Amino acid sequence: MSSPDFRKRVLSDDDLSLIASEVPALAELRGVRPWNRDKLWAAVLDAIIEAETKSAREAAQQALGAIQALDAIDQLFVRHDR
């Protein structure tokens, strides 16, 4: 199996926003549209801190897992011209 060519990153911030908007745990959080990674992380962390019920804690944990997956996608497939 050959390794992928990570120099050919093809996703954009708009793509990440679209992906995040389709994840139920993230769809309604600030930072999804328009894409703002920092605001989305803050919203997820706020959800974790403010979760009082079991279902709210579970939803916050789902959001945390989803944003971690998006971070991995961001690192591998989004062009960062810095």
Which pLDDT tens digit goes with each residue over 19-41?
999 999 999 999 999 999 999 99
3-class DSSP state of 52 = coil
Torsion, Cα of 29, 26, 24, 18 (10° steps) = 100
15-37 in b/e burial notation, b at 16+ Cβ within 10 A? ebbebbeebebbeebebbeebee
What pLDDT, on the 0 to 100 scale, is given for residue 7? 60
Q: What is the pTM of this model?
A: 0.81
